[in-house]
Amino acid sequence: MQQKIITNGDMSLTLHSLVMDLGAIETGSIQAIYTGAPTGSLYLELSDQIIGPSADPNTAVTQWSVYSSSAQAISAAGDFLFNISNMGYKWLRLTYVPSGGTGSLNATANVKGTNV
């Protein structure tokens, strides 16, 4: 399943992607494409927080941990591909934190699993 998780994100601001439910995901990837002259860090955040069955994870999940060694320094226009495999976590999101510059961020997730 492919899903756009950030569309035309303003890279002068901190950005969080849509939250992905990894419950049935076996493998996947996230491709981030950035234009302009952004500087900052792109990384993955994970959570195992329990939320209600009808709760929207984009607002209900509030306890996030940075995925170790996922930080990618951004200093110019370009792209980066994160590989997602063997993750035993429930929730995942892509985060961008600016340190200067401006640009636009688009990110797409592609995941495969038993119930996708």
52: domain CATH number is 2.60.120.260
In this structure, how many other beta carbons lie within 10 angstroms of the beta carbon of residue 57? 16
Residue 103 sits in which domain range?
2-113
Please tell me the distance from the alpha carbon of residue 46 to that of residue 90, in angstroms, as a whole number. Answer: 8
> For position 113, what pLDDT does the model report?
79
- Kindly calculate the radius of gyration of the chain based on its CA atoms and give it in whole angstroms: 14
Give pLDDT tens digits for 30-74. 999 999 999 999 999 999 999 999 999 999 999 999 998 899 999
Answer yes or no: is pLDDT of 115 > 80: no
This prediction's pTM: 0.93
- The tally of domains found in the chain comes to 1
pLDDT, averaged across the chain: 94
